[in-house]
């Protein structure tokens, strides 16, 4: 649901409401034509209700025809939304009022209609529909209290026998009662499904860097801590690579931030191509700083990963808006650890990264953390 368009959500609301209008039209017509049921009805009121429901159904069908070609577009459809919301809202208010506004079944259906609107339509649309439908409902209540209108304008006393509803009226009330529960239950399941989708998307966004699509610092630190704990059980080496784009500030200053963003996105793509998915993790820690987490990886294997990244980077061709070709290089600090805490690994990788920059950039500095510290540079 979170990914649907405004037109798509409006179509869903129409699709949920229109079948009920059609069912009501059919049941009411059958009742008006039945010699056994008609004496318990006020035909004039029911025919007016039928006309209103038919008009509302035509509006919904016309709205569907207009919305369908636009269902994949992202632009809002406020006027059609309002028209559809008013048709649905007023239709169900009319049904509830004619059958007895505070009877359990119609009230449940009205709750379902409100839930449909709140889930699928814009807040402004729902405020307009509520602002129109609520006064209608309130006016009927006032007129009923002062005995201007009966409690259920569409039926007569002949719908009851010794105070109990006759078979057709009892059947209708039970049907509406169960329809109301079905609507509410369906919407509850839909609501939970939508919440699950939203939560999944929020979790993804909270762990993802928007520009590069890589894991962000928070997700990287959680995974690093988890891998260090797992390493304590497996006693397998773990390698960590910190990557920093060389002279990135110069790129931003000379060519602008859009070009800088393009460089970062390109680096993110190359780093994700250079690792084993989903075993390894590529992350953007912030700014032009990236990281690779390589579980069960020795220093020699990490060196091969760094070499592949540098080879792919050397083959990239970026051109600034001025036409100038950009040559992007990276410096890397690499550490293999076994039994160290995450902070120690990060500190040593960061130390190696700065050594690589001090040594002229476009290179990697490697070290192994163990009982003794052995260092080598490349």
Position 2 pLDDT exceeds 80: no
The answer to the question of residue 1 being in a domain is no
Q: Does residue 159 share a domain with residue 20?
A: yes
- Provide the number of structural domains found in the chain: 2
The answer to the question of residue 91 being in a domain is yes
Please state whether beta strands 160-161 and 238-245 pair in parallel, antiparallel, or not at all (unpaired).
unpaired
Q: Does residue 278 share a domain with residue 167?
A: no
CATH code for the domain of 327: 3.30.70.270
Q: Does residue 181 share a domain with residue 233?
A: no
Q: Which residue has the tokens 């939203």?
A: 198
Most confident of 101-105, 187-191, 233-237, 351-355: 351-355
Position 169 pLDDT exceeds 90: no
Position 267 pLDDT exceeds 70: yes
- The predicted structure's pLDDT at residue 180: 66
Q: Does residue 233 share a domain with residue 186?
A: no
Q: Does residue 90 share a domain with residue 20?
A: yes
Containing 83, the helix (H) or strand (E) segment is helix 78-99
Position 370 pLDDT exceeds 70: no
Question: 25-34, 92-101, 181-190, 354-363: which has the minimum mean pLDDT?
Answer: 181-190
pLDDT band for position 126 (cuts 50, 70, 90): confident
Q: What is the DSSP letter of 103?
A: S
CB-neighbour burial class of residue 334 (10 A; exposed 0-12, middle 13-18, buried 19+):
buried
The answer to the question of residue 334 being in a domain is yes
Position 139 pLDDT exceeds 50: yes
In a 13 Å sphere around the CA of 308, the CA atoms on its Cβ side amount to 15
Position 376 pLDDT exceeds 50: no
* Buried residues in 156-176 as b, exposed as e (16+ CB within 10 A): eeebeeeeebbebbeebbeeb
The answer to the question of residue 201 being in a domain is yes
The answer to the question of residue 58 being in a domain is yes
Q: Does residue 258 share a domain with residue 364?
A: yes
CB-neighbour burial class of residue 223 (10 A; exposed 0-12, middle 13-18, buried 19+):
middle
Q: Does residue 188 share a domain with residue 242?
A: no
For the stretch 148-160, pLDDT in tens is: 888 888 889 888 8
Last-in-domain residue among 206, 230, 264: 206
Q: Does residue 38 share a domain with residue 83?
A: yes
- The predicted structure's pLDDT at residue 377: 41
Q: Does residue 221 share a domain with residue 201?
A: no
- The predicted structure's pLDDT at residue 105: 53
Q: What average pLDDT does range 199-205 have in this prediction?
A: 79
Q: Does residue 293 share a domain with residue 316?
A: yes
Q: Does residue 254 share a domain with residue 190?
A: no
For the stretch 335-344, pLDDT in tens is: 999 889 999 9
Last-in-domain residue among 206, 232, 259: 206
For the stretch 78-123, pLDDT in tens is: 999 999 989 988 888 888 888 775 554 555 556 656 666 666 778 8
Domain enclosing residue 277, as ranges: 217-377
- The predicted structure's pLDDT at residue 118: 62
Position 328 pLDDT exceeds 70: yes
Q: What average pLDDT does range 276-284 have in this prediction?
A: 91
The answer to the question of residue 212 being in a domain is no
Position 256 pLDDT exceeds 70: yes
Q: What average pLDDT does range 53-79 have in this prediction?
A: 93
Q: Does residue 243 share a domain with residue 156?
A: no
* Buried residues in 234-269 as b, exposed as e (16+ CB within 10 A): eeebbbbbbbbbbebeebbeebeeebbebbbbbbbb
Last-in-domain residue among 206, 225, 240: 206
Looking at the annotation, which residues are catalytic? 288
Q: What percentage of the chain has pLDDT greater than the value 90? A: 47
The answer to the question of residue 314 being in a domain is yes
For the stretch 294-322, pLDDT in tens is: 999 999 999 999 999 999 999 888 888 88
- The predicted structure's pLDDT at residue 361: 92
* Cβ 363 vs Cβ 356: under 8 Å: yes
């Amino acid at each position: 649901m979170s990914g649907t368009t405004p037109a798509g959500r409006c179509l869903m609301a129409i699709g949920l409401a229109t079948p009920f209008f059609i069912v009501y039209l059919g049941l009411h017509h059958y009742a008006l034509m039945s010699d056994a049921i008609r004496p318990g009805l006020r035909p004039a009121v029911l025919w007016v209700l039928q006309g209103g429901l038919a008009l509302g159904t035509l509006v919904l069908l016309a709205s569907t025809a207009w919305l369908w070609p636009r269902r994949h577009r992202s632009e809002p459809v406020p006027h059609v939304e309002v028209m559809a919301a008013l048709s649905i809202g007023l239709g169900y208010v009319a049904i509830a009022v004619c059958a007895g506004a505070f009877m359990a079944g119609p009230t449940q259906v009205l709750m379902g209609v409100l839930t449909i609107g709140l889930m699928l339509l814009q807040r402004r649309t729902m405020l307009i529909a509520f602002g129109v439908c609520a006064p209608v409902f309130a006016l009927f209540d006032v007129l009923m209290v002062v005995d201007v209108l009966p409690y259920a304008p569409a039926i007569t006393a002949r719908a009851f026998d010794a105070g109990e509803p006759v078979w057709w009226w009892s059947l209708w009330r039970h049907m509406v009662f169960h329809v109301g529960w079905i609507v509410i239950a369906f919407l509850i399941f839909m609501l939970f499904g939508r919440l699950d989708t939203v939560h999944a998307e929020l979790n993804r966004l909270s762990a993802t860097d928007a520009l590069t699509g890589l894991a962000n610092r928070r997700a990287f630190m959680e995974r690093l801590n988890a891998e260090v704990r797992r390493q304590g059980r497996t006693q397998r080496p773990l390698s960590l690579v910190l990557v920093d784009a060389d002279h990135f500030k110069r790129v931003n200053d000379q060519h602008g931030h859009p070009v800088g963003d393009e460089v970062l996105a390109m680096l993110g793509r190359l780093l994700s191509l250079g690792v084993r998915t989903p075993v390894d993790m590529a992350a953007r820690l912030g700014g032009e700083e990236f990281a690779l987490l390589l579980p069960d990886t020795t220093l020699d294997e990490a060196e091969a990963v760094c070499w592949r990244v540098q080879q792919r980077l050397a083959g990239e061709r970026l051109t600034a808006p001025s036409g100038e070709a950009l040559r992007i290089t990276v410096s890397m600090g690499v550490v293999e650890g076994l039994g160290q805490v995450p902070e120690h690994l990060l500190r040593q990788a960061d130390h190696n990264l700065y050594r690589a920059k001090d040594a002229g950039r476009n290179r990697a500095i490697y070290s192994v953390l163990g009982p003794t510290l052995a260092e080598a540079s490349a």
